[in-house]
Amino acid sequence: MNNRAFLRLTWTSLVLLAGSGCATSGSSSGNSVSVPLPYGFSATVTGESAPAQPFMVVTPEDARLVMASSAIASRVGHDITYDIDQVILKDTTNLHDLVSTALETVARGIDEARAYAPEATGRTCLMWTALKIELDEKTREAYAFFDERTGTLVLRVPTRATSFATERGVALALAPPT
């Protein structure tokens, strides 16, 4: 699992979700992709990790993603990054909805953890730097855990997942019972 490629995303900037099939936009040539941005700007991703079409461009105007990531940032107290396994990006047809729903679920999971363990949740939030969504081909249901070493909340999802997290799973990952 450690050999997989992950896309690191922040929702305050351009997001390229490779192979999602949600939209086709921009132009591609060789190992680079040129993507139009608002206000006449464009961005180019080059190299072996450059996404092939179709890909989805998510701009800050995408209210649901922005609101969900803002909800997480306001609960955590700072911005975090989002790492999404590229295998999931290629395997999921409704990725945009799944990611939005997962972020909303994580925000509600933080609230649930705070309700029963405010001090433990607060300590975890101080360490939290990233949320990682990765494929776990051996599991049948999505589950979550917090990696204190890296400050990462990891959501492990099965192949062809219909959801990436549960509120209770996130809450238990952030503030496990003692």
Q: For the whole model, what pTM was predicted? A: 0.68
What's the pLDDT tens digit per position in 107-166?
999 999 999 999 999 999 999 999 999 989 898 899 999 999 999 999 999 887 788 899
Burial letters 20-42, b for 16+ CB under 10 A, else e:
bbbeeebebeeeebebeeeeeee
pLDDT digits (tens, 9 = 90+) for 79-109: 898 888 888 777 666 777 788 889 999 999 9
26-52 per-position pLDDT tens digit:
344 444 555 444 444 444 544 445 455
